[in-house]
Each structure stands twice: as C-alpha cells, then as structure tokens.
Amino acid sequence: MFNFGKAIEEMKAGKKVTRAGWNGKGMYIALQIPGANGKMRRPYIYMSPVDGELVPWVASQSDMLAEDWFIVE
C-alpha cells in the first residue's frame, strides 16, 4: 500500500488504483489523457464507482492523506 503521491505516479504510468478504505467493491480511479479528436484538452482523473459508470473525480482531503492506496490488478 502507498500514499496518494504514489497513486498519481501509478496512474501516470497507466495503472488503475483504489483504496482499501473505500466501501464499494470494484471501485477505482484512473488518469485519462485526451486524444487529438476528443473535446477535452487536459488530462483528468475519472472514477469507476460501484455501478461501473465512469465519472469525473476530485480527491477529498481524506483520499489525499490516505496511505492505503494500491494498484488494481
């Protein structure tokens, strides 16, 4: 397990990450790098919550200070 800084590094390397402290099974976050044909122009983090629908995500203070991040296999 690691901190949020390491979680960001892992997302930049193309990995999906999650927290042990999140209650929902299968939840994760990942970094999206927009393509040339997309409407978005800057990278952003998205979440796959329990229902599997992808949504934009912003970290809470609890998430940023947590030390229970890990890579989703």
The pLDDT of residue 71 is 98
The pLDDT of residue 37 is 92
pTM for the model: 0.93
pLDDT band at 8; cut points 50, 70, 90 = very high
Would you state the structure tokens that stand for residue 7, as one six-digit string?
């979680």
The pLDDT of residue 31 is 98
Sequence length of the chain is 73
The domain limits of the chain are 4-71
| Dist CA 31 CA 14 (whole Å) | 7
Q: How far is CA 62 from the centre of its chain?
A: 14
pLDDT band at 64; cut points 50, 70, 90 = very high
Ramachandran angles phi, psi of 5, nearest 5°: -60, -45
